[in-house]
Amino acid sequence: MEKIKDEKLRKILQEMAELLKQVYGNRLKAVILYGSVARGTQTEDSDVDIMVLVDGTDAQLREYDERLSDVSTDLALKYMMVFSIIDVKYQEYQDWKTVSPFYKNVAQEGVVLYAA
């Protein structure tokens, strides 16, 4: 998190991580910021890309879709920013982070906001 120099953004990301902990409870393994904001190359039009790693099956992750959307919408309205939040099975990420270009990028450039 110390990689994020903007204090306001850091507080927003901390708030998001806390809300995601409330949504997923003990299933939450990690919250990772990735994309242009993580690299520090964002513009005022950039969205905030978040990957949520969750211990569970696809069906279990679908149960959280509405609450995940609520978190994204509430924060977007509160801070006038666009948040793109995806939840990914923790084991899938572990299995593919050295193979999939997308997961590899998240692993290399991502900023861990929360880790269990």
Residue 5 pLDDT grade (very low, low, confident, very high; cuts 50, 70, 90): confident
Give the percent of the chain with pLDDT over 90. Answer: 91
With 80 as the cut, is the pLDDT of residue 3 above it?
no
With 70 as the cut, is the pLDDT of residue 1 above it?
no
CATH superfamily of 7-115: Beta Polymerase, domain 2 (3.30.460.10)
**What residue ranges in the chain does DSSP mark as E strands?**
28-34, 48-54, 83-89, 111-115
Question: Over the stretch 61-113, which tens digit does the pLDDT of each residue have?
Answer: 999 999 999 999 999 999 999 999 999 999 999 999 999 999 999 999 999 99
